[in-house]
Structure 1
């Protein structure tokens, strides 16, 4: 059976993380993603640290299953080649700052002139309008402006903290991939090509509202989050390492007291109901921490599991590689890359029944597919060579010779 997006072509003008992650989701599901890059430079993540044989881990982990074409869009031949690729594409994705795509001749109308039904996607940082639209943007700035850093800090008056992963970038990538497939479905059902606009700021606000903005939901009855529920998280130290334990229901609370051999906690009026336990969360978590320090992580995980208490070990990045659950899920995949050697990556999280998954193609060297893609869209071999000689396009061999 074919992959879900087999037969669709994506013209990918994006760089860094949010856009490339979005298009990699589509590539993993069978779309032909043609990544357009600047000759001699390419996606900036190619230059990131942690490299082998000139290939960075960051680029490899966000660009597999794609083809790379190196075009100089300042050259009329390069721009013309891009438009011919766009004319054969179902989706055109760019994450330039608002206004830049129009200035370089690849705004929505310019692309729609050659591909009337194309799904045109604009990914921005702060949005296309307003005082921040033209500002440079990176993930921490979106965490700050969206309120995420304040939420991570715990309360309005406490020091804001960043989530220690680039959540806005990656979340925006997943939102974009879902929106693109929805637009393709709408077009297949008789609709026209749409312009999808996604900002990192909007993606994070939407993400937060489902659980963290209840205090701002009732118009006219907003509440300041002046006091955090607790600054004690659900990571506990044991005699040998860290574990996480989380209980919500009365049954889980009772099971916890059985597992920890502390039945007298059930007689404490501070913990009589779920509401009481929430009101006295610091006292409850401090008692739990004191008890868990008395034995090993292995001992407590066995007892907690035996009594049906939700729990898990806290794994380091190295430890997770060999954990039984990760192995059982077959979550990690090792493949060979023609340039970078043996790689370990995750499998796509969504798995489709009835589809045999083949090993992914590794992320391409810069310009690796320039000749093949231009031939696909009708360029003769001599015309391709003339474009290369003129500097309008480049191949991976040209890049390596610099």
Structure 2
């Protein structure tokens, strides 16, 4: 099966989420991704909780459509094997702390000695310079340093709050995937190899600036703090659950009044214009909530939709699986992993006209593809046996042949 990136080979030395998510997105689009892991445990997410058949959900959901090659890069034979893999690679991705990959012998200069035109990608936590460059990094630290936790709180004066998902990790993965494809395109056009550098901190700050840093935009007129328009969100409690609705313009405002049967709000001077409705947002939201709590979600969604008010139910993680909108678009797929069993996964969100859907392959066992990939590089069976016995490579035993979903 082919995808838009069919024919691209990526060597993925990343672990955790940001790097693996980026390369999985590229694998979903047809790239051959070879996940290079330490034979002694591999990617840390392999040992995470919520496991089935020896596989953790976190690992499964960030590493499908890849091949696993286990190499001990502290062993010269393991490093030699990686250099052989580099000869035919288009992209090299690593997310070690700055300086570590150079000490391992695979900094940019060393890699280009083997593969001069390769796209070299370095993903870091806080960036390659500055007082935090060498610090260990996890998602909450980036949420704090980037200002995201304060944005989530609603005001600089409120207690900061974490977003309840690892947004910096995942956003960095999406940003890296886009940057890699841009670098590949540039190489195709100009024949110039690229070194793509990005950090979790960079990615989150750029993400926030589009909508949350207005108070910091004008250099000569910064606000001393970011004040909150309201500490209420746009979630409304009904008699049996929750819904959300958003009203942006006059047409939608009057549609809401019709749906709620509250035409008198239209004469309230506090709500006469969009600007005034924003200035008086607390009063507006409180009035809306006072009405919505009197009936069930289905009642309000029907009335709101009939009047053209943008609205939706607020679903739990379990409820979204069976929602008709999700089902109609085939967003959640059930697939059979040969070792972990029946899985649900979200399909790749982008689809391409004129390209076949890439065949789904479950995330591999550690070292599942070591022998096959190294044979393609010219290693014979006697050499592979010697390398395995010496601990230079790791090989998964007793794996089950992949089944089609």
Q: Shorter chain as normaliser: what TM range?
A: over 0.9
Whole-angstrom distance in 2 between the partners of 1:107 and 1:358: 32
Match for residue 155 of structure 1?
155
* Conserved? CA contact 2:30–2:358, under 8 Å: no
* Conserved? CA contact 1:335–1:359, under 8 Å: no
Match for residue 116 of structure 1?
116
The 5 A counterparts of 1:59-74 are 59-74=59-74
How many Å apart are 1:238 and its aligned residue?
A: 0.5
* Conserved? CA contact 2:2–2:358, under 8 Å: no
Whole-angstrom distance in 1 between the partners of 2:237 and 2:56: 35
Scaled by the length of structure 1, the TM-score of the pair is: 0.98
Whole-angstrom distance in 1 between the partners of 2:280 and 2:319: 34
Scaled by the length of structure 2, the TM-score of the pair is: 0.97
Whole-angstrom distance in 2 between the partners of 1:88 and 1:353: 28
Whole-angstrom distance in 1 between the partners of 2:266 and 2:398: 73
How many Å apart are 1:176 and its aligned residue?
A: 0.3
Match for residue 190 of structure 1?
190
Whole-angstrom distance in 2 between the partners of 1:390 and 1:153: 54
Match for residue 227 of structure 2?
227
Match for residue 104 of structure 1?
104
Whole-angstrom distance in 2 between the partners of 1:224 and 1:55: 49
Match for residue 26 of structure 1?
26
Q: Secondary structure at the match of 1:131?
A: coil
Q: Secondary structure at the match of 1:266?
A: helix
Identify which range, 63-72 or 190-199, moves more after superposition.
190-199
* Conserved? CA contact 2:3–2:358, under 8 Å: no
Whole-angstrom distance in 2 between the partners of 1:373 and 1:164: 39
Write out per-residue CA displacement over residues 348-369 of structure 1, whole angstroms, 9 at most, x where no aligned residue.
0001112231441000000000
* Conserved? CA contact 2:122–2:198, under 8 Å: yes
Whole-angstrom distance in 1 between the partners of 2:343 and 2:274: 47
Whole-angstrom distance in 2 between the partners of 1:356 and 1:23: 19
The 5 A counterparts of 1:174-253 are 174-253=174-253
Q: Secondary structure at the match of 2:68?
A: strand
The aligned length equals: 400
Whole-angstrom distance in 1 between the partners of 2:227 and 2:90: 50
Match for residue 314 of structure 1?
314
Whole-angstrom distance in 1 between the partners of 2:305 and 2:179: 40
Whole-angstrom distance in 1 between the partners of 2:364 and 2:121: 23
Match for residue 333 of structure 1?
333
Whole-angstrom distance in 1 between the partners of 2:367 and 2:248: 53
Write out per-residue CA displacement over residues 259-295 of structure 1, whole angstroms, 9 at most, x where no aligned residue.
0000000000000000000000000000000000011
The 5 A counterparts of 1:352-363 are 352-363=352-363
Match for residue 402 of structure 2?
none
Unaligned runs of 5+ in 1: none
Write out per-residue CA displacement over residues 30-78 of structure 1, whole angstroms, 9 at most, x where no aligned residue.
0000000011310000001000011000000000000000000111000
Match for residue 53 of structure 1?
53
The 5 A counterparts of 1:360-399 are 360-397=360-397
* Conserved? CA contact 2:215–2:226, under 8 Å: no
Q: Which runs of 4+ in 1 moved over 4 A?
A: none
Q: Secondary structure at the match of 1:285?
A: helix
Does 1:299 find its partner at 2:299? yes
How many Å apart are 1:378 and its aligned residue?
A: 1.3
Taking a change above 3 Å as real, the CA distance of residues 44 and 184 of structure 1, as seen in their structure-2 partners, is: same
How many Å apart are 1:226 and its aligned residue?
A: 4.7
Whole-angstrom distance in 2 between the partners of 1:358 and 1:150: 41
Q: Supply the RMSD in Å over aligned alpha carbons.
A: 1.3
How many Å apart are 1:172 and its aligned residue?
A: 0.3
How many Å apart are 1:331 and its aligned residue?
A: 0.4
Whole-angstrom distance in 2 between the partners of 1:226 and 1:150: 9
Q: Secondary structure at the match of 1:155?
A: coil
